[in-house]
Every structure is written in structure tokens, then in C-alpha cells.
Chain A
Amino acid sequence: METNQLNLANKIILIFSKELKSEWRSKVSINSIVLFSVVTLVLISYSIGPYKIDENSKSDVFSALLMLSLFFSSSIGLSRVFVKEVEQKTEITLKISSDPLSIFLGKFLFNFILIFGISIIITPLFCILMEFFIKNLCLFLSIMFISMLGLSIVSTFISAIVSKASMKGALFPILTFPILMPLILESTKALSLSASSEDKSFFLQSFLILISYSGIAFFGSIILFEKVWKE
């Protein structure tokens, strides 16, 4: 055999590039995520607006609304990463051509870039529309980064499970919501604190909780993914 085994990093990049190219041409996930996020934003700003909430609870409510909109956006877009392989009957092609680890990591990387990119666009828009001024931008962005990391790991893994089920649409939010609950709660709390005060003492604890959650989700997904993917 005249083949040179590609290393893991190259395979991940190859699968990620394929996902990116496919998505750029079909725009199914991007369109649904952007559309959902913008509609949610407009609805929130129209019905609640910047002045209907008192100043003390503003950061709590707005952080929760921002996380909620990102969670539901991810439910719509990120779940497609494996579901589309089954729908387009390309699952066998991918299974026979590569190993489960690089497939999972390639798809996770794509989901992460997608949702982090969307959050980078949505967050400033949200802040402008709701007149939500963040006092500690650096911490806010760091929390957002780790939260999106955890969100995309779990979403990628659940997408693989959902792709095997018959009720694909309904199953994804049902499965992801309880698993993501600790992440959403901690992120909301940390985002609210970083937005409302310049005090940095909360950061280390929140950072450790979020990074531990993401780490456990990451290694758990890697261990279980092969079983899910091969069945």
C-alpha cells in the first residue's frame, strides 16, 4: 500500500474544511441560526426594550436572554452536523474513509467556529439594541468563549445520537437541555457578573466550573462517540 497515514490534525482540518465548504454552499445552518437569532433579538428588543427592566436586574435578565437565544440558535443549526450526513446518505462514505476520532473533532471544530462566530455578531447587536453596557468586556468575552466551547462539544455529540433516531427534530433540544443546564446556568451567572461589575473575584471559580464542564463533556464525548457512530 502506497498510502501515508495522515496525522490526526490534518484529518481534522480536512473534515472541518469539507464542512465549511459544504455549509458555505448550502447555507442551511448559517441561515437558520442567523435568522433565529435576529428574530429573537428584534422580538426581545421590541417587547422588553432597554427601559422596561430596572437597572439592578438588567444584567441578570439580559445575560439570561442572550444565553437563551444562543442555546436555541445552536439547537437549530448545530444539530445538523451529523443529521445531514444521514439525510444525504453520506454517513457510510465518511465511516469507511476515516476514523471516528477525527470525524468527531472535525465536526466539533466546525460547530464551535460557527456558534462562536454567530455569538460574536449577535452579542454586540444585542448590547446595542438593549443598551446593555458591559463593564468588564475581557471577562465577558472569555466566559462567552468557554461557554460556546462547552455548548458546541455537547451539541456535536448529541447531534450524532440524534442522527440515529427517527424523530430527529424534537429529540435534539430534549436531550441537550438537561445536559447543558449546568453550563447555561453558570454562564448566565458569570456573564451577568462580568457585565454588571468590574470585580474580577468571581471569574476564577466560574472559569474552573465552565472549563471542567467542557473538559468532562469533551472526554466523555470522545470515549462514547465511537460506539454511537459505529452502531
Chain B
Amino acid sequence: MPFCNIKAKNIHFSYGKENILKGINFEVSEKDILIIKGPNGSGKSTLIKLLSGLLTVDKGEIEYYVEDKKIEKSEFNIFFGFCSVEQNLYEELTVWENLYFLSKLRGIILKDEIEDYLKKAELFSAKDKYFKNLSSGMRQKVKIISSILHKPPFLFLDEPSTNLDEKGIRFLSDIIEEQKFRGICIIATNNENEYIYGNKSVELGK
């Protein structure tokens, strides 16, 4: 497993005049699972978007390292995996086409890998179904798979157990466990059942 590390230093972020995040600091390394806790509107999703490079901090700095090499913005799409409730996959493409497109875009064309994950998620029989025809739980599992196919050292999950049934939650647990041996996982959630995954936490909105 490569050495990897995220250093968040004095992060500030606001939407217009509304300050969402003020002076957030933390450091996580490989095998760490960081839980970002907090009530609704406390800035959990904003923080995870900042960490994954989807938003830019107003003040402060976020640094990422793999094997002592600093990861640049242009490399985020290879090193980062991201799954959020606010995100969707392509409705007009099938499950297989979505996963193939997103993994190929990152330079990975491992059809066996896609098949394995679909089998683990009990979605293999639905691989040729259009994404729009899937249930909300099935969609969530496909989104989770799309975030880890390229084996990213940094995985960001926003409310990952949303819409998942018991089997889906077991699948998610396996994914998070797998991520421990690949690098870092950061989960934003206010679901107490998801707190058990973490060994570190950041609490927002205190």
C-alpha cells in the first residue's frame, strides 16, 4: 500500500456572505477513515467537495501526497474517487456502459474488475439495464462502484448508505474495508450507523 496523506490547513469557505467553514484543520494518512459529522447545513457536503477538488477553498490549503509526491490538480481524476447523493450517472446509458465509460476515461479498461464488482453488489443481472430504470438503491451501488473502479488512493463518500438495504450496506462496508488497504477514505454523514467505519472524525457546526 502506498504512503498517502491529506493535510487540510485552516480551511475557510463561504457561499456569498454566509460563512460555511471556518478554520478547519486535520490530517489523515493511509488506513485512516475520517468521518465528517454534523447536522444538516453544517457544511459536510461542502467540505467533501472542497477535499475532492470540486470546489475551491476561499482561504487555507489542502495538500495531497502519494509516496511523498504532491498530487497536482490535473491528477485529481486519477487519484480521487467520489460518490455523493447529489450526483447521478448517465440515464441513457446502461449500467455496464456507464461503468465502462467512467473507468476508460481514467485510463482503466478492466472488464473483469467491473464484472467482479457488479457480482459483489448483486447487480450483474442488471448490467444491461438503463441507469434510469434502476431502483434508487441499485443506482447508489452503481455510483459507489464507479467511484472505486480505478482503485483511487483517496475515496470521498457523501452519505454513502443512502437508499441502501441491508445487503447494500454490507457491500458498502466491504468497499470501505477494501479502501483501508488502498489509502484514505473520507465519509461525510450524519447517520450514526456510518460512524462505526471511522477511526478519526471532524465535527462541524459545533
| Residue positions of A touching B, CB distance < 8 A | 1-6, 11, 14-15, 18, 21-22, 25-26, 88-90, 92-93, 95-99, 230
> Which A residues touch B59, using CB under 8 A?
none
**B113 smallest CB distance to A (angstroms):** 10
B119 close to A (CB within 8 Å): no
Since A2-B151, A88-B88, A88-B91 are in contact, a sample of 19 more A-B pairs with Cβ atoms closer than 8 Å, ordered by chain A residue number, is A1-B66, A3-B106, A5-B78, A5-B107, A6-B107, A11-B105, A14-B104, A22-B92, A88-B90, A89-B86, A92-B82, A92-B87, A93-B102, A95-B54, A96-B52, A96-B76, A97-B77, A97-B105, A97-B106
In the complex, which residues 60-103 of chain B have their Cβ closer than 8 Å to any Cβ of chain A? 66, 74, 76-80, 82, 84, 86-93, 97, 101-102
Secondary structure at the B interface, as helix, strand, loop or mixed, is: loop
Q: Can you name 12 A-B residue pairings with CB atoms under 8 Å?
A: A1-B79, A3-B107, A14-B105, A15-B105, A22-B90, A26-B92, A90-B87, A90-B88, A96-B53, A96-B54, A98-B106, A99-B77
Q: How many residues of B contact A (CB 8 A)?
A: 34
Name the contact of A93 in the complex, choosing from B88, B92, B108 (C-beta under 8 A). B88
Select from chain B the residue with minimum beta-carbon distance to A91: B87
**B46 smallest CB distance to A (angstroms):** 13
> Which A residues touch B80, using CB under 8 A?
96
In the complex, which residues 38-59 of chain B have their Cβ closer than 8 Å to any Cβ of chain A? 52-54, 56
**A230 smallest CB distance to B (angstroms):** 7
Please report the C-alpha to C-alpha distance between residue A2 and residue B66 in the assembled complex, in whole angstroms. 14
Which interface residue of A4, A14, A15, A93 has the most chain B CB atoms within 10 A?
A: A93
